[in-house]
Amino acid sequence: MDLIIVDNYEELSQRAADIIASCVEADPACTLGLATGTSPIGLYAKLVEKCQAGEISFKDVTTFNLDEYRGLNPEHNQSYRYFMNHHLFDKVDINKEATHVPDGADPDAEHACAIYEQLIERNGGIDLQLLGLGHNGHIGFNEPQDDFPAKTHLVQLTQRTIEANSRLFDSIDDVPREAYTMGIGTIMAARSILLVATGSSKAQIVHDVMYGLVTPQVPASILKFHPNVTIIVDKEAGALCQQ
């Protein structure tokens, strides 16, 4: 895994956006795996700038998001579909039909997850998967557990994740308790992976992912087994690591 420690969020956003833009430049019809959370907001803004300046085009790009809350409609302002429209899709020249987020409004978990996994497979997989990092090491919504789930599946969110994500809702009671997420196998099948993490509250988990054992109790630790992973952190999140 390549670890890049940068000075601040601005630099992190620029470096990450440059990596994604290079992928799109190299193959204008590439497939991007995308992530939500606060960490990627800055890099999406940089990609919007590049697109609006005519430096890159998303016209032929296909995207698959990692996850979605179960029970939220796409119009709900806390749904991950809404987030993606707001931060990226509505502001660039992407064909919305080629953007995919698990269907949180489908109550049939087996159906929603199987369809999503099939779509990714039929599309030929993901070229570059962007990831954030939960404080407990979760990627997508793959929470710490006894094994590494292979495919897109239904998850029960942990209390820690519900609390962390409640900052974005009116009240903690509004945070959905379940989500659909790509599996660890789905993520590991991506041809390259870019993980971003910021802030001192992520320092310990970034350290554990980099130097700890590979264990499903720290889901992101499995990235050590992937041949092409870049991790970009700001100096607060990288405080316990050496470069």
Catalytic residues: 67, 136, 138, 143
Name the minimum Å distance from CB 195 to ligand GLP: 9
- Candidates 51-59, 95-103, 130-138, 214-222; binding stretch for ligand GLP (CB under 6 A): 130-138
Site for ligand GLP contains 140 (CB under 6 A): yes
In the complex, the smallest distance separating the C-beta of residue 77 from ligand GLP, rounded to whole angstroms, is 16
Candidate residues 30, 32, 34, 35; the one interacting with ligand GLP per rule CB under 6 A: 35
The encoded tokens of residue 201 equal: 């509250």
3-state secondary structure of 153: strand
Q: Measured from the CB atom, is 88 or 133 closer to ligand GLP?
A: 133
Do 214 and 221 touch, CB atoms closer than 8 A?
A: yes
Residue linked to tokens 């407990």: 136
Report the SS3 class of residue 230.
strand
Contacts of 208 (CB under 8 A, 6+ apart): 137, 218, 221
Q: Does 89 sit near ligand GLP (CB under 6 A)?
A: no
**Phi and psi for 174 in degrees, rounded to 5?**
-85, -10
**Tokens found for residue 158:** 């942990």
x-or-dash string of contact with ligand GLP, 157-176, rule CB under 6 A: ----x---x-----------
Among 102, 104, 134, 183, binds ligand GLP (CB under 6 A): 134
In the list 47, 56, 66, 233, the residue contacting ligand GLP (rule: CB under 6 A) is 66
Q: Which of 6, 51, 133, 194 binds ligand GLP (CB under 6 A)?
A: 133
> In this structure, what token pair is assigned to residue 175?
């945070």
Do residues 230 and 131 lie in contact, with contact meaning Cβ atoms separated by under 8 Å?
no
- Comparing CA positions, the residue from 223, 204, 149 lying closest to residue 179 is 149
* Residue 198 DSSP class: -
How far does CA 229 lie from the centroid of its chain?
14
Does 200 bind ligand GLP (CB under 6 A)? Our answer is no
Nearest approach in angstroms of CB 133 to ligand GLP is 6
- Shortest distance, position 204 Cβ to ligand GLP, whole Å: 14
Which residue is at the shortest CB distance from ligand GLP?
132
Tell me the C-alpha distance between 216 and 185, whole Å. 12
Q: Which stretch binds ligand GLP (CB under 6 A): 10-18, 30-38, 222-230, 234-242?
A: 30-38
33 touches ligand GLP by CB under 6 A: no
Contact between 152 and ligand GLP by CB under 6 A: the answer reads no
Strand pairing class (62-65; 99-100) = parallel
Report the interface residues with ligand GLP, using CB under 6 A: 35-39, 66-67, 132-134, 140-141, 161, 165
